[in-house]
Chain A
Amino acid sequence: MSARAGIDGFLAAAPWPQRAGLRLLVALQRRPRGAGLLARMPMAEQAAHAILALGRYDDPVLAGDLGWDARAVVARGRALRRAEGRP
């Protein structure tokens, strides 16, 4: 799953009033003028930034550069479960 798809799924799972608000915040933060507007509202800016950061650093290449390999963690887990008969 791409990082963008991961964020889309994350936002889609939010309850409806928040979903609309968060999508708006993210759309604003992605545009220079929108980001400038949000900079005047620190809490909103922080929320939008947090969601975009969640997506950006979920990217396997970027995460890999920081020492995190989700695929390897999952593969190790699967191998352990198979080898030891875990659920």
Chain B
Amino acid sequence: MKLDCDVCVVGAGAGGAVAAAELAEGGARVVVLEQGPPHDPDGFTARPPEMLARLYRDGGQTATLGAPPILLPLGRGVGGTTLVNSGTCFRTPPHVLERWAREFGLELDEATLRPCFERVERALSVAEVNPEMAGANAAVARRGAERLGWSHGYLRRNARGCVGSGVCVFGCPTSAKQHTGITYVPRATAAGAKLVTGADVREVLIERGRARGVRARLARGGELEVLAPTVVLACGTIHTPLLMQRSRLRDASAQRGRNLALHPATAGFALMDEAVDMARGVPQSFYVDEFATQGIMFEGVAGPPAYAAMSLPLTGARHARAMADYRRLAQFGLMVSDESRGSVRALAGAPVIRYDLCPADVSKFRAGLARLQELFLAAGAREVYLPLPAGVAPERARARDLRLMAFHPLGTARADARVTHGVTDGRLAVHGAPGVYVADGSVVPSALGVNPQLTIMALATRLAFQLLGRAVPDGSPAEPAATGGGDCQPDPEESACPS
């Protein structure tokens, strides 16, 4: 089976869906290939084990190799990880953009990205959570932060008509969370893009040194070849470098698959006097950023009993007693902006993710866990359950004592203006592979310290308009844009992009 188009987008998550919609609405003929299935919200059951198996890659059990091993949950299917994230939206912090300019030669300042962020935020109905919807779990953290005088606030999220179902990460049953599967993907298809699910892209086709399309295996059997002079890779930070490697794209920088940055994270529980019912309300609605400059961020986490039981760092009778008090349990998360760097490579076709927590990041966890305990106690906790072995105090924790998950993988095809230092350039074009671009977290060259979905979407927006040869408009998503000379075709005379 063969298709031909102007732009082939590989992946329908945060980056791919945004790029596809903007390109299709801009007049380009777009094919989107997504490895996973579409997900019907009628099939969401709000039951964690079933939803983990269905909505997550590897059932949410993708793990890093290293000290300590870390679970790295990734979404799979139309919407990608936006389908199963908490919906938290932060713009790229200004100090991060300054670092990118200084260290990586990227011309991405606040003014350049502002129209991209505004456009994405409008498309996703990004707004601050109100205190009523935040629920009692957030109120516990707020009380603690206020008593300690720590900086805090309610998070901004991409949700519309949220009723606080409490299962954002297990599939939103009300479709309130504005993930790309119900926002940008429908916009793309409405504008004429063709979406093929169950398409496992095996290779980017290169002819005479530039992109010619991609070859995919279909889940229903057979192969699909998409012929396109422009290919946008958006398979995510773990899989994009592996596809580039399989395709034998040149990598003069030798950085492909390296520089993996994560937000390693953990969470503590507290037994309160009052009823908390942590799954009533928005699980991730509140943050405490008092120690953000030290790379330590606290954000809300919560879920139904099965989720809490799995996360509660106790065993045996103590676990049973604490779970009997589930309605009075509060939970809050700790996320570290890492200095550690890992790598991803393929072994027998499967990704092997190597990541060791460096001493500086272990120190952040020690400090963060002590602060988390302080937060809970200030809020009036009767007991605090930290994710450490019995008898280990936060300040004495070693890497192997930590029970970690990680989120927000970034950096494995990092952007750098210099061909010797980056896999992609500042325009997100792959160095040495004309016609191949990347629009996912892999291009983000450093940890952000905040949730990255908005950064990825803003960069994808910028890429799409760059390919269309237009400025990103300041108005609503549907507003016509000023035109110019784009680079979505190798030969301007053959360009199908309207100009």
Q: Does A15 contact B (CB under 8 A)?
A: yes
State whether A10 touches B174 (Cβ < 8 A). Answer: no
State whether B315 touches A45 (Cβ < 8 A). Answer: yes
Q: Does B47 contact A (CB under 8 A)?
A: yes
Q: Does B326 contact A (CB under 8 A)?
A: yes
1/0 per position for B411-434, CB-CB distance to A under 8 A? 000000000000000000000000
A58 CA / B315 CA spacing, docked (Å): 17
A46-B313, A54-B306 are known contacts. Are A77 and B277 too (CB-CB below 8 A)?
no
A1-B47, A74-B45, A81-B41 are known contacts. Are A15 and B61 too (CB-CB below 8 A)?
yes
State whether A73 touches B46 (Cβ < 8 A). Answer: yes
State whether A84 touches B161 (Cβ < 8 A). Answer: yes
**How far is the CB of B480 from the nearest CB of chain A, in Å?**
26
1/0 per position for A51-71, CB-CB distance to B under 8 A? 101111110001100111010
Stretch at the interface among B164-172, B375-383, B441-449: B164-172
Q: Does B279 contact A (CB under 8 A)?
A: yes
State whether A77 touches B304 (Cβ < 8 A). Answer: no
Q: Which A residues are CB-close (under 8 A) to B304? A: 57, 63, 68, 70
A49 CA / B310 CA spacing, docked (Å): 8
State whether B309 touches A14 (Cβ < 8 A). Answer: no
Q: Does B305 contact A (CB under 8 A)?
A: yes
A73 CA / B162 CA spacing, docked (Å): 12
Q: Which A residues are CB-close (under 8 A) to B403? A: 46
State whether B175 touches A81 (Cβ < 8 A). Answer: yes
Q: Which B residues are CB-close (under 8 A) to A86? A: 161, 174-176
Q: Which B residues are CB-close (under 8 A) to A11? A: 59
- Chain A interface secondary structure, helix, strand, loop or mixed? helix
Q: Does A6 contact B (CB under 8 A)?
A: yes
Size category of the A interface is: 35 or more
State whether A80 touches B174 (Cβ < 8 A). Answer: yes
Q: Which B residues are CB-close (under 8 A) to A76? A: 163, 165, 173-174
Q: Does A32 contact B (CB under 8 A)?
A: no
State whether A13 touches B52 (Cβ < 8 A). Answer: yes
A54-B306, A87-B186 are known contacts. Are A13 and B56 too (CB-CB below 8 A)?
yes
The residue in chain A whose Cβ has the minimal distance to the Cβ of B165 is A73
Q: Which A residues are CB-close (under 8 A) to B48? A: 54, 58
Chain A CB within 10 Å, residue with most, of B304, B313, B389 = B304
Q: Which B residues are CB-close (under 8 A) to A57? A: 304-306, 308-310, 323
The residue in chain B whose Cβ has the minimal distance to the Cβ of A55 is B49
**How far is the CB of B12 from the nearest CB of chain A, in Å?**
15
Q: Does B182 contact A (CB under 8 A)?
A: yes
State whether A6 touches B50 (Cβ < 8 A). Answer: yes
Per a CB cutoff under 8 Å, which of A53, A58, A66, A67 touches B47? A58
Q: Does B99 contact A (CB under 8 A)?
A: no
State whether A18 touches B61 (Cβ < 8 A). Answer: yes
Q: Does A28 contact B (CB under 8 A)?
A: no
Per a CB cutoff under 8 Å, which of A12, A43, A77 touches B53? A12
State whether B49 touches A46 (Cβ < 8 A). Answer: no
Q: Does B62 contact A (CB under 8 A)?
A: yes
A4 CA / B312 CA spacing, docked (Å): 20
State whether A1 touches B61 (Cβ < 8 A). Answer: no
Per a CB cutoff under 8 Å, which of A9, A12, A15, A58 touches B350? A15
The residue in chain A whose Cβ has the minimal distance to the Cβ of B42 is A78
**How far is the CB of A30 from the nearest CB of chain B, in Å?**
14
The residue in chain B whose Cβ has the minimal distance to the Cβ of A10 is B49
A70 CA / B173 CA spacing, docked (Å): 10
State whether A80 touches B161 (Cβ < 8 A). Answer: yes
State whether A67 touches B326 (Cβ < 8 A). Answer: yes
A84 CA / B186 CA spacing, docked (Å): 17
A14 CA / B277 CA spacing, docked (Å): 30
A1-B45, A74-B173, A81-B175 are known contacts. Are A18 and B63 too (CB-CB below 8 A)?
yes
Q: Does B374 contact A (CB under 8 A)?
A: no
A76 CA / B167 CA spacing, docked (Å): 13
Q: Which B residues are CB-close (under 8 A) to A46? A: 313, 315, 403
**How far is the CB of B317 from the nearest CB of chain A, in Å?**
12
Per a CB cutoff under 8 Å, which of B46, B315, B316 touches A70? B46
Residues in chain B within 8 A of chain A (CB atoms): 41-42, 44-50, 52-53, 56, 58-63, 161, 163, 165-167, 172-176, 182, 186, 277, 279, 304-313, 315-316, 319, 323, 326-327, 350, 389, 400, 403
18 additional contacts (CB under 8 A) given A13-B61, A57-B323: A9-B49, A12-B59, A13-B60, A49-B316, A50-B310, A53-B309, A54-B49, A55-B306, A63-B306, A66-B327, A70-B47, A73-B173, A74-B46, A74-B173, A76-B165, A80-B163, A81-B41, A86-B175
Closest 8 CB pairs of A and B: A13-B59, A77-B173, A6-B49, A53-B309, A57-B309, A58-B306, A70-B46, A54-B310
11 contacts between A and B (CB under 8 A): A10-B53, A15-B58, A18-B63, A42-B389, A53-B312, A58-B50, A66-B326, A66-B327, A67-B277, A68-B305, A70-B304
